[in-house]
Structure 1
Amino acid sequence: MTAPYSGSCNCGAVTATIAAEPVWVRQCWCGQCQKAAAGSATNNALFATDAMAITGDVAWKGYTAASGNTVEQGFCPTCGTPIFGRNSSRQGSWVVRLGFLDGDHGLKPASAIWLEEAPEWAVVDPALEQFPRQPPPPPPAS
């Protein structure tokens, strides 16, 4: 499937339509993402915020990451569904949790990152490009 993508939280209070393709789709095994995903990796697609139309209220909670960047998690304040992530180093884009997207959206991780923090029982698809920590940033859009 291709854009537009749509998504909703479990209770339907927050919805989104995304009119662009993601910059990347990744699985993240950093310690903070494992906490956000109840012990597993998060599966995320990075989208430009100007391509996103959001309805409903999103609650945000943040922390300072090991990189020094401010990282915030966005979720539905009514049902708690994890929806977004944003990072102070990536102005103009947010990650969307793949589980927030509706239906068979066709997006799947192309890489797994922060594998040095993954638990020994983690199962990582060997077909994914793998990085022990954060990969280099994507090239600027033309």
Structure 2
Amino acid sequence: MGSRIRGDRSLRGLFDRLEADGPEPARRRRVLAGALVVAALLGSNAWGPADAGTGSVVWFGTADLLQCAALIATAFLLVWRSRWVVWAGAVSVALVLLGVWFDVMTVEGGGASYAALAVSLLIKLPAVVVLVALVGRGRRW
């Protein structure tokens, strides 16, 4: 069975390899992966103008605060291996995708639009995929 796990290149295979060493090292790796994903999303959330070209600083700040709170709650629930991580993760993913849409659609033209697309495609969307995979493991706890 070990050779089958080692040869699997999918995201599920990655998580199977992470848990192959036993519960404690797997927990440390899961915590590290969750922390890196949350840090990447929180760091990319701090990027960008305060106004985003819409004239609504209140909406922009509220959406970002909700997203940060959901990501932090998801990180804590991942560490505690709570079944509630599925719900917090679903809210986090929805808010990150809302933030991606908001960032891309409301940015002024020119270089800022390319920067918004780059951050969305290279940081936020891959981190969402990993977050979905991590949270999906919570269904089995």
What's the TM-score, normalizing by structure 1? 0.25
Higher helix share: 2
What's the TM-score, normalizing by structure 2? 0.25
